[in-house]
Structure 1
Amino acid sequence: MAYYDRDHLTIEWDNDLETVLMNWQAFAKGDDYRDGLDAGLDLAIEHGAENWLADLRDLGTVTQDDRDWTHDDWHPRAFESSLQNMAIVQPASVVSNMSVEEMVTEVGENTTSRIFDNRDDAREWLRNQ
């Protein structure tokens, strides 16, 4: 059952991996993007989650305003939470991928992140953490 279900994003709790699972289905910006990330973080905090898997293949390019918000607002809160491992399934678009890589390199000192080409590899990495 989805914890958060919108046209652009579905968020679930994966009991097997004890992971927040974010599946972006469409481009999102502004409140849609930010509310989604906040909902995922709320679920992580609720479960004391150490793992996060975000499938960004269909997200599209993150706007500069949303990248700034992620860096200045969301990342500090996420890195103060229980999250330790962030697996990101990268977008196919080179332009979209560049904006994701920029955000993923900004991880906290207690957080490890990896970028993957597919969800199976991301899940396997989280399973081994």
Structure 2
Amino acid sequence: MNEQSTVIRLQTWEYGTLDYDPSVPCIIATHIGYATDDEFKEILNLGLAYAIVKRKTHGKIAWLADTLLMDGNTMAEWSANDWAPRVQAGGIYHIAFVSPKDIFADLQIQDFVKLGTQKIKTASFENIESAKEWLQHAMAI
């Protein structure tokens, strides 16, 4: 990482957190356990709003989805058809995933990648640091 990583907590819920790492720069959406459809949408929508604001500071920003502890949900279609186009319109073209332990969560991520990321580069990693390194490199190209 080029700069000292200082992660800033933006929001906390029982089912997840939103953080901002200016050293990448990226928004980190950490999903914990099961979130209802509305709760899942809240994390992604609020995170996107933060990302758009932070992009103005950096000129670019990425999304890091820490799904290691996420339980599966049924939001892949909404994420791909509603959220992903808004992500692209907001100028976010890189999404890194920390791979989930839960097989159903992993299937949802695979479905999202297949359905809605034609213009978004995605990759999956075993830990946050590897995901951040890839995002920094990918955004520098």
- For 1:95 and 1:9, the matched residues in 2 are separated by 18
Matches within 5 A, 1:63-74: 63=74, 66-74=75-83
- For 2:123 and 2:52, the matched residues in 1 are separated by 21
- For 2:80 and 2:103, the matched residues in 1 are separated by 21
Please give the TM-score of this superposition, normalised by the length of structure 2: 0.82
Q: Equivalent residue for 1:86?
A: 95
- 1:19 has 2:26 as partner: yes
- 1:31 has 2:41 as partner: no
Verify the 8 A CA contact 1:22 1:53 in the aligned structure 2.
yes
Please give the TM-score of this superposition, normalised by the length of structure 1: 0.89
- For 2:103 and 2:13, the matched residues in 1 are separated by 25
Describe the SS at the equivalent of 1:12. Answer: strand
- For 2:80 and 2:26, the matched residues in 1 are separated by 22
Describe the SS at the equivalent of 2:96. Answer: strand
Q: Equivalent residue for 1:45?
A: 52
Describe the SS at the equivalent of 1:3. Answer: strand
Choose the corresponding residue for 1:128, options 119, 123, 137. Answer: 137
Choose the corresponding residue for 1:95, options 74, 98, 104. Answer: 104
- For 1:119 and 1:98, the matched residues in 2 are separated by 20
- For 1:73 and 1:118, the matched residues in 2 are separated by 27
Q: Equivalent residue for 1:4?
A: 11
- For 1:4 and 1:104, the matched residues in 2 are separated by 25
Q: Equivalent residue for 2:123?
A: 114
Structure 1, unmatched stretches of 5+, are none
| Percent sequence identity over aligned pairs | 23
- For 1:72 and 1:17, the matched residues in 2 are separated by 27
The superposition leaves residues 16-63 of structure 1 with CA deviations (integer Å, 9 ceiling, x where unpaired) of 111111111221121100011001100111111421111001111122
